[in-house]
């Protein structure tokens, strides 16, 4: 198929019908992309790709260049020898990374296309566009070390892997997805489906939570609490096994400004003091959990994170969403409330021929492994 593409470095350059292609995914729409461009992370540069059939826009994609040298810490939780070696390799041999997709999210948010083309067509075009983008970045004195396509489900992976023969196919932690039973009308009907063990877990968590006030925060409240919000966010982010970015202080304010009612920010308070927060993004019939933060000492005492998960489920049931994307990390506790793992795959290639030959070995031996046990909380 004869397709052409255009690379953009500013959302103001995007075609007027861009959102018509992104219709089912808020993370590819202009209003979200504007937040990425203006208030995401200090080490990230976004580009956008339009795929055209003759003069008609038929596909769209997002890319992110990340400079890992600007990340102060890849994660402070793990200090084992494998982590130290992994961090050394990233700092010295793989610090400039080009993602085709959104590195801040879990799930297939790399591209969208209409019924005039197939996933094979858009993959072929994106590989060509990626090579040109790498050349453009080189002129800016940015030499890309790693190129990564992410995240794809099993079906899409099987369709496109033959198109990327020089790339190593990898998988990391699964995407934890919660399916809402259409017969549930409120939190009580959800709790009623749990086994006694997990009903008791809910009751224990709920008792610990009685002196905490939860409320939806407005754009102005997010702005006035920006510093404490950022500190709470960093408490969680720096405890992750691996980080490639840290959000800017104004990220949540700008997201609320752009998305309005589609972005939910809930603060958790004890005696009027903000001790935690979680965020949600409405994405058609899917509720996407976003970033959160909390005071670590209070989190343990009050089972705050577990209560946040229950709150997200209750809200999503009430508002008739079909699924909740809980994303990666904290796999076991998400499993304990009913989320199921969905494997996601990606493809990566190193610019150095010899490193690329052993990239599979390096990835499998140095990637932090999550040891966890899947729970089955329902009757």
More confident residue, 23 or 314: 314
- 13 pLDDT higher than 70: yes
- 49 pLDDT higher than 60: yes
When pLDDT is cut at 50, 70 and 90, the band that residue 109 belongs to is very high
Residues 155 and 199 occupy one common structural domain: no
CA angle 67, 4, 118 (to 5 degrees): 90
Residues 128 and 96 occupy one common structural domain: yes
- 367 pLDDT higher than 70: no
CATH number, domain of 93, equals 3.40.630.30
Question: 190, exposed or middle or buried, with CB in 10 Å at 0-12, 13-18, 19+?
Answer: buried
How many percent of the chain have pLDDT more than 70? 92
Q: What is the pLDDT of residue 76?
A: 47
Residues 47 and 160 occupy one common structural domain: yes
More confident residue, 337 or 72: 337
When pLDDT is cut at 50, 70 and 90, the band that residue 41 belongs to is confident
Q: How many residues does the chain have?
A: 379
**Domain annotation covers residue 376:** no
Longest dimension (CA), the chain: 63
**30 Cβ contact partners less than 8 Å away, ≥ 6 residues apart:** 11, 14, 18, 19, 22
How confident is the model over 71-90, as pLDDT tens digits? 655 444 445 555 545 555 55
Residues 216 and 151 occupy one common structural domain: no
Per the structure, how many domains does the chain have?
A: 2
**Domain annotation covers residue 196:** yes
**Domain annotation covers residue 373:** no
Domain range for 227 is 176-341
Residues 90 and 213 occupy one common structural domain: no
How confident is the model over 154-201, as pLDDT tens digits? 999 999 999 999 999 999 889 999 999 999 999 999 999 999 999 999
- 125 pLDDT higher than 50: yes
List residues bridging with 52 in a β-sheet.
4, 57
Residues 348 and 305 occupy one common structural domain: no
Residues 221 and 310 occupy one common structural domain: yes
**Domain annotation covers residue 316:** yes
């Amino acid at each position: 198929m004869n397709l052409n593409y255009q690379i953009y470095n500013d959302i103001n350059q995007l075609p007027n019908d861009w959102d018509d292609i992104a219709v089912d995914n808020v993370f590819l729409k202009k209003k979200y992309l504007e937040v990425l461009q203006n208030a995401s992370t200090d080490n990230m540069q976004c580009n956008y790709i339009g795929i055209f059939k003759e003069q008609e826009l038929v596909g769209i994609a997002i890319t992110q260049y990340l400079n890992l040298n600007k990340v102060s810490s890849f994660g402070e939780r793990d200090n084992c020898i494998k982590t130290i070696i992994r961090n050394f390799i990233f700092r010295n041999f793989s610090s400039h990374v080009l993602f085709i997709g959104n590195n801040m999210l879990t799930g297939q948010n790399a591209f969208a296309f209409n019924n005039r083309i197939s996933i094979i067509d858009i993959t072929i075009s994106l590989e060509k566009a990626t090579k040109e983008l790498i050349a453009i970045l080189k002129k800016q004195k940015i030499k890309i070390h790693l190129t990564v396509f992410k995240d794809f489900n099993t079906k899409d992976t099987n369709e496109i892997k033959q198109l990327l023969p020089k790339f190593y196919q990898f998988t990391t932690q699964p995407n934890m997805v919660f399916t809402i039973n259409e017969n549930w009308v409120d939190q009580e009907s959800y709790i009623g489906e749990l086994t006694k063990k997990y009903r008791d877990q809910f009751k224990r968590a709920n008792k610990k939570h009685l002196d905490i006030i939860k409320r939806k925060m407005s754009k102005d409240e997010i702005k006035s609490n920006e510093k404490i919000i950022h500190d709470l966010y960093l408490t969680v982010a720096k405890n992750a096994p691996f980080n490639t970015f840290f959000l800017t202080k104004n990220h949540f304010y700008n997201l609320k400004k752009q998305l309005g009612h589609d972005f939910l920010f809930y603060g958790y308070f004890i005696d009027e003091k903000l001790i935690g927060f979680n965020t949600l993004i409405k994405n058609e019939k899917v509720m996407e959990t976003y970033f959160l933060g909390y005071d670590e000492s209070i989190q343990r005492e009050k089972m705050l994170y577990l209560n946040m998960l229950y709150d997200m489920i209750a809200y999503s049931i009430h508002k008739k969403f079909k699924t909740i994307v809980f994303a990666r990390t904290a796999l076991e506790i998400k499993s304990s409330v009913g989320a199921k793992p969905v494997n996601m795959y990606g493809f990566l290639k190193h610019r150095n021929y010899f490193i690329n030959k052993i990239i599979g070995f390096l990835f499998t031996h140095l990637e932090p492994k999550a040891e966890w046990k899947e729970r089955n909380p329902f009757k």
